[in-house]
Amino acid sequence: MPTEPGRERPGARFLDHETEDAQAWWNAWKERIASEFGVIPGPEATARANGSIGGEMTKRMVGLAEANLSEQPIDWD
């Protein structure tokens, strides 16, 4: 959302800090999976190697979501 020059959007500092924390966590997780696979992610790695990292991250996120959803009853009302 554009703002006037010199005016900050409400909560911008909080959101920026939260985004930095999330990005740091995401990068650390990616590096952890890459090290498990023995891959150094980046432009020097093959597309297959980089893709294997992203694929594993997706697989684990889906597993976490399924586990989280199975612990909570669904309220259809």
What digits encode the pLDDT tens for the residues 13-59?
Answer: 656 777 888 889 999 999 999 999 999 988 999 999 999 999 999 99
Using one digit for the tens of pLDDT, what is the confidence trace for 58-68? Answer: 999 999 888 88
Structure tokens at 21: 């924390």
33: number of Cβ within 10 Å: 19
Q: How far apart are CA 17 and CA 23, in angstroms?
A: 10
The C-alpha atoms of residue 56 and residue 66 are separated, in whole angstroms, by 15
The pLDDT of residue 71 is: 79
**How far is Cα 28 from Cα 36, in angstroms, rounded to an integer?**
12
Tokens 């959302």: give the residue.
1
In single-letter form, the type of residue at position 74 comes to I
